[in-house]
Amino acid sequence: MSAHHLFMQRALELAQNGHGQVAPNPMVGCVVVHNNEIIGEGWHKVYGGAHAEVNAITSVTDKSLLAQSVLYVTLEPCNHFGKTPPCTSLILDLGIKQVVVASSDPNPLVSGRGIARLQGAGVNVETGILKSAADELNKRFFTFHQQQRPFVLLKYAQTADSYLGLDVQNSTQEEFVAHKQISGNAAQRLTHRWRSEEQAVLVGANTVINDNPQLNVRHWQGKNPVRVLIDAKGRVPLTAKLFDGLTRTIVFTLNAPYFKSVSAEVVKLTTQEPVIKQVLYYLYAQHFLSVLVEGGAATLSAFIDAGMWDEARIFTSPKHYGKGIKAPGIDAEKTIEIAVGDDSLSILKHQQA
């Protein structure tokens, strides 16, 4: 591994520390290297806070070394005033003469301008070092800016014979309760971790009617996501846990008057556009980089059929039900399959045209 790759790998490791903390900003890591030795490092820690470059430079004890140092950063330095001043100005003011960048920024506010400004001022800028890994790290950010929608993760648990659960209409109450949880405790904990890492978690009406979920983070330490419900007709009980007022909740519906008494942000759907398209556009306009879809068969299938998904995380239990609600079929490339407790976790990527 070359020195460039080694130091950029460290910057990527640092960037991951911002997962779940910095959205709608990207995760960014940075290291400052002098004579092949790291003398400063940092990452973007919280939305609205100092950028990775600022934190890395601040951590350097002897600032006189900066002019002879190389700055490695996982994403193109910003060149605009946002919540903080442009990082390009800081780099130029300190006389740093070499910058190594993994990915160019897809944000049209930046999009090559940071690199161009540095190069125009005589800074030697190298790009594309570990670009694939950097793009994967910020797949939510890239999807948001390139496709004008949040990154969509589908998550569900199925039995070994591909059922999502029993059908409440064709099962006894005892059967339904006994078969309610398909995956094990390890999978449940991992799901709560995922919730803490995404900005929103989404379900449909049937999931609320049948399961009455809280959709918060309990079995992991982290932030609660915004809860999103799609209930076109207005069918869920108004006493559902989603309306406890403890976390921001957004309801998409054609029947807005039905929800006038609940603690939620109600968004009126129209019949002119597909529901999934309306939901994702609203979340995009609200600066959501990602949404975790934990709905049942109907909601999952709606996203799959619309082609509006990016990654699927599927737990398969060793249990067999023999009947019930069939899991949706997904034709996609499986990138990972690992054991999680007694369950198997498969991660699928949507290869979009």
Give the catalytic positions in this structure: 53
- Within 10 Å of residue 52's Cβ, how many Cβ atoms? 29
Provide the sign of the torsion angle of the four alpha carbons 140, 145, 146, 149, taken in this order.
Answer: positive
Q: Which two tokens stand for residue 115?
A: 């690199």
Listing DSSP states for 137-163 in one string gives: HTHHHHHHHHHSS-EEEEEEEE-TTSE
Q: Which two tokens stand for residue 223?
A: 């932030």
Give the separation between CA 266 and CA 317, rounded to whole angstroms. Answer: 36
Give the separation between CA 43 and CA 51, rounded to whole angstroms. Answer: 7
Which H or E element spans position 98? strand 98-103
Beta bridge partners of 314: 156, 346
Closest CA to 62 of 24, 36, 94: 94
Residues 6 or more apart whose CB falls under 8 angstroms from that of 191 comprise: 155, 183, 219, 294
